[in-house]
Structure 1
Amino acid sequence: MKIASFSVKSDHHIGIVQDGQIISLTALGPDDFPACMKTFIERGSELRKRAEQLIEQRGNDDAKFSLSEVKFLPPIAQPEKIICVGLNYIDHCKETGMEPPASPVIFSKYANAIVGHNDVIEIPINSKEVDFEAELAIVIGKKAKNVSEEEANDYVFGYTIMNDISARDLQFQDGQWSRGKTADTFAPIGPVVVTHDEVGDPHELAISLELNGEMMQDSNTSNLIFTVPQIISFLSQSMTLKPGDLIATGTPPGVGMGRNPKVWLKNGDRMKISIERIGTLSNHVKA
């Protein structure tokens, strides 16, 4: 199931993307489906079954929209936590000149950084070295504390795409990464959340990023150093994960700072991140 948050004119909806269109669950069952992805996630299988029933039972054309007539919103606009894993592809470690870590390298972004599909990424006035990072993001489905690796997959609702935009000059000036990682618009996500059953094995997905039509990153999640279960188990030993929390799993090689000459984002640039079985997240850059 591919689930999206979107708007038509000024109305917000949650809906299912299928067969080149989007079906609004909010329009079909407003009592069951407020336009809130976190509510959908928190109510779990109960709401998924209700969604499937509504789509099968009602062929209401007023609830169907073409993808071109809707604005995709961030699937989850206000997660409690946005957790990121750094240095999680061996080749990316090499291009940054860093040793592969012995345990996951963790940092956070804040909700101010979240934007959606086709939204603008803004270069802040205090940075001249803004970079891109294509990442698979985990969407947590239920409360998780002290979870073992063997049971970790049971806590995954689904997956989406994140572009971990990074102001490298700020990131390395500070000695810790927060200011360089969580400027406004630095966490584009979407366009959809795909449920874990439809994605299948998250460690067999092609992942790529194009900048102005040129392939910059081209890899596969099979190259992750720390797997999805390892990451969830590791984090849950320190913090309680909640429904709707986002965990970005790291980026493959090909980022701008690892190139010679280096490639920094500039006004007018356009990016497309594609992850197999999830979709394509597109954004453009504004200075």
Structure 2
Amino acid sequence: MKLASFALTDTPDVARLAFVIDDTTWFPVTEACQAVGTTLALIPLTIHHAIEAGPDVWHELARVADTLTSWSSLTSSTKVAPLDLAALIVLPAVQTPSKLACLALNNSANVDRIVKGPSHPAVFTKPLTALVGHGSAIRLKPHYGRVHPEPELAVIIGKRATDIAAADAYDHVFGYTIHNDLTSPTMRDEDSFHYRAIHPAAEGQGEGIRYVESHVSYSGRYKGSDTFSALGPWIVTKDEIVDPHSLDISCHVRDECFASDNTINLFHKVPEVLAFLSGYMTLLPGDVVSMGTALASGGKPGRAVQNADLNKMGGPVSVTIERIGTLSNPVDRSV
């Protein structure tokens, strides 16, 4: 089942929910459930309502979606009109997650680039104000400097997870979507420090302090600026993707390919990542866990997504993941 979030152009702040039959055929969930007939006492109005309602509701929504797909003539037999996609705004796959947790440098295809780093997953978070949906503009200001895309598989959490075991991780997954984790190396350099960190004196040297030469960078601006997280175009429920670690993934700017990879190259896999994260931060229904950038070269030899400076090239920029779809966004450099 594919579920998309949208708003009508005359009520852009009201999120609604749609069944996605194919790229061009979407049905509003409320009207479709009424036309097909449903056992649901309350039909979920938004993706967050649907996720939080739990597996019984998910199964009933999937039954309705299957019925819509199987009817011979969708427009006449369902007694519900498909949505006019030209008259709506596609919203981020989820709009109000409590957190968007992203993995850093989680691609074994480029493990030789890591001079020093942890053996466990490394994570940073992004604000929900960074979210933007399929078809909406990524807005870039000149002083952002270099900005490049990062194509990533994203996991949507379906069930609260605290201190879970890896063996139970998939029980907490609702589905999968696409995340373009926009990044500005210019702002990263501006927000990096090379400094002497203060530590307690070494053991056995009594009370006091010592200085340790350190390097640190803070990701608030270079990862979290407005529109720096394109998410969508929809969610594919987990039953339709048996193995999230065997999906082709690519990234294009205009018609040029800048990355062509496969999620098999994710160093830390979904069960391990969810188990690790849930030991430090509770994952709530609707949260997003972005699994790390597809980095294998695409197009010309030696090319990487870091070569795609959107502040110079413009857009559109698109990310395609097998069995999910394509997330595409124009780039607005006029702001």
Q: What is the TM-score with the length of structure 2 in the denominator? A: 0.78
2:18 is aligned, of 15, 18, 39, to 15
Alpha-carbon distance change, 78 to 98 in structure 1, aligned in 2, over 3 angstroms: farther
2:251 is aligned, of 191, 205, 209, to 209
Residue 171 of structure 1, CA deviation: 1.8
State how far apart, in whole Å, the 1-side matches of 2:261 and 2:122 are. Answer: 20
Residue 68 of structure 1, CA deviation: 5.0
Counterpart for residue 74 of structure 1: 92
Paired amino acid for 2:332: K
Counterpart for residue 82 of structure 2: 64
Per-residue displacement from partner, 1:182-207 (whole Å, max 9, x unpaired)?
00000000001000010110000001
Does residue 186 (structure 1) correspond to residue 228 (structure 2)? The answer is: yes
Residue 71 of structure 1, CA deviation: 2.9
Gaps of at least 5 residues in structure 1 are: none
Residue 122 of structure 1, CA deviation: 1.1
Residue 263 of structure 1, CA deviation: 3.5
Residue 147 of structure 1, CA deviation: 0.6
State how far apart, in whole Å, the 1-side matches of 2:54 and 2:31 are. Answer: 20
2:277 is aligned, of 217, 235, 255, to 235
Cα RMSD (Å): 2.6
Q: Check the 8 A contact 1:92/1:251 in 2, yes or no.
A: no
Counterpart for residue 2 of structure 2: 2
Counterpart for residue 310 of structure 2: 265
Counterpart for residue 27 of structure 1: 31
State how far apart, in whole Å, the 2-side matches of 1:60 and 1:263 are. Answer: 45
Per-residue displacement from partner, 1:65-104 (whole Å, max 9, x unpaired)?
255554321121111010000100023444x554564111
Does residue 280 (structure 1) correspond to residue 326 (structure 2)? The answer is: yes
Alpha-carbon distance change, 212 to 101 in structure 1, aligned in 2, over 3 angstroms: farther
State how far apart, in whole Å, the 1-side matches of 2:287 and 2:132 are. Answer: 15
State how far apart, in whole Å, the 2-side matches of 1:165 and 1:190 are. Answer: 14
Gaps of at least 5 residues in structure 2 are: 35-40, 72-76, 192-216
Q: Check the 8 A contact 1:24/1:64 in 2, yes or no.
A: yes
Counterpart for residue 225 of structure 1: 267
Q: Check the 8 A contact 2:259/2:304 in 1, yes or no.
A: no
Does residue 246 (structure 1) correspond to residue 288 (structure 2)? The answer is: yes
Does residue 168 (structure 1) correspond to residue 210 (structure 2)? The answer is: no
Q: Check the 8 A contact 2:254/2:316 in 1, yes or no.
A: yes
SS of equivalent residue, structure 1 residue 172: helix
1:107 is aligned, of 105, 124, 145, to 124
Q: Check the 8 A contact 1:133/1:255 in 2, yes or no.
A: no
TM alignment of 1:147-162, pairs within 5 A: 147-162=164-179
Q: Check the 8 A contact 2:3/2:235 in 1, yes or no.
A: yes
Residue 54 of structure 1, CA deviation: 4.4
TM alignment of 1:34-45, pairs within 5 A: 34-45=44-55
State how far apart, in whole Å, the 1-side matches of 2:248 and 2:8 are. Answer: 31
SS of equivalent residue, structure 1 residue 250: strand
